[in-house]
A and B are shown apart, each in its own frame.
Chain A
Amino acid sequence: MLSRVADSLYWMSRYLERAEHATRLLDVNLNLMLDESAASADRRWLRVLQALGNPRGVFWKGDPYALTRELALDTGNKGSIVSCIINARENSRHVREQISTEQWHQLNTLYLQMTRPELQAHLMSDMMMSSDDLIGFLQLVMEAVHQFQGVSDSTMRHGEGWQFIQVGRYIERAEATALLVAAYHEDLWGHPDAATESNEYLDWMGLLRSATAFEAYCKVYTADLVPDKILEFLLLDEEFPHSLRFSIDSLQHALEAIQRVSGKTRAEPLRKLAGKLQATLSYSSVDEILERDLIAYLREIQVQCREIHEMIYELYVDYSIQAALAG
């Protein structure tokens, strides 16, 4: 497979995962804030910004809908949902002949819907009506991205290209989950007395729902939202698709599949790097993690994800010609 193609598929997938995550985060928080006093809005939305990695140039100014518009629809903001969709579609356009027609339809249709000038104008206006539509819009994006994933799994050959899509998705998801947990941890674990009891329940629920984990958590631990259990679930659960461990396991599987196609010996350093991360997650317990500095732990995971990303590039995309000729 061409390096450029791998690069495009990887980023197409990352951008879609990013869009999906941001969409869910906004949707969940717009919903939960309705049950809450206006006083706690500041904390909630600052936390949202932090979970999104504090996008440059976006600030909390007291209006959740205005913030949502900025994070969802502002094409000037590189991290906005619409920018992610545009970028994902642009990457897919570059590899149009590599993905299935169904995948292209799905993504192209979403792109055309999102960039319609009327829609942009309508949603950007300040009217009450448009705030309701904003929520409908977020749901539309989420559904479309889910459908794209379904279509990808069922119409594309699960060869190297598909594996690069998995790599992009899970590396993005792992980083996002780490960032999300970190944002909540600093806020909730850090100041246990700052929240009232009912608020606290909503906040924990918000955390779980932001990772589509609420229902899955309840099945395992019942609806008692216990902070340590939540942490255990989001970080270490083996079977939940948004947990950190699941993401890294899937990432490692995809990388191994790619290595089988493209030659094993070259990829040894990458296998070690991803394997090390996988092992620490597989054999840790939540108590161990909490005994130490959780924030530092999560930061370390993000650093390792970035190292894996760089190694992927060095091996498959941006390698030097001399090295390739010698190998």
Chain B
Amino acid sequence: MSETAIYREAIRSALIEAIEKDERVFLVGEDVGRYGGSYAVSKGLLKRFGAERIIDAPLSESAFTGAGIGAAINGMRPIVEIMTVNFSLLALDQIMNNAASLFHMSGGQFNVPLVIRMATGGGKQLGAQHSHSLEGWYAHIPGLKILTPATVQDAYDMIALALRDPNPVLIFENALLYNMKGELDRELKAVEIGKALVHRQGKDISIITYGISLFKALEAAKLLSKEGIDADVIDLRSLRPLDDETIMNSVKKTHRVLIVDEGWKSGSISAEIMARINEQAFYELDAPMARVCSEEVPFPYANHLEQAAIPQSEKIVAAAQKVMEEL
């Protein structure tokens, strides 16, 4: 049965179900307990489950993330919460050198069934150390799975999907989505990891995106439709693995591509998607591919500057029009 829910509460509700269902699941991170989570996702959970399952950790990203990995290889199913993606860099050693590598390095003896959640993205005037979208960067690393829930449904579904996966799964929640309302059907069978979703069917241009940019792309598609441009809008959902099949099927239908990514351009996931289309569907293209990404600056504090740095619907419309003008 479908209901309207808030993104933050959908995650909380999925966490509650997971902790209730499986005694191996626990949540650890900075301020997840008494404070209720820096974005209030875990509000009330400490009272409900106690300090053994909801563990407040000191500001030691590397140690508590590594502790999550250690607990995972010793039979538990930890969920590590890191406040924001910028802080996760303090745990990068553990994520890259241990979580992503242990299974291979040990010749298949120690897989790491770990979930790491963190907030990502800009737009709240938090400056250059709280605002970036580094999920594409993490997608570079073999051994990790990278999820980017855009919808309330995915915010809910991806917790259980990630916990069922025997590998380290990183979930990037765009902080501006926490207050968003959307449809949630708890009975619905979750769309598996690695499958993209086409949110709008169109025949003229493929707009490929993920996370919060999905909504900007859908807004742009609405504006474009008034001009007779019919956009296919794809939510990748997972940046690793990427759903090549859905991407290529869309390219074969529209023959034109625009990628929207809140990450930077250089060496990015948008560049990777372009490369794959080039490798797998080059002759399907009727025009050069284009992308709208964040401007290559550390995000500034001033609102007008920050907004100018982030992909917006108007930029997406303009970029799509340009792709359509190509013969």
Question: Are A and B interaction partners?
Answer: no
Which A residues form the contact surface with B (CB < 8 A)? none
B residues contacting A by CB (< 8 A) are none
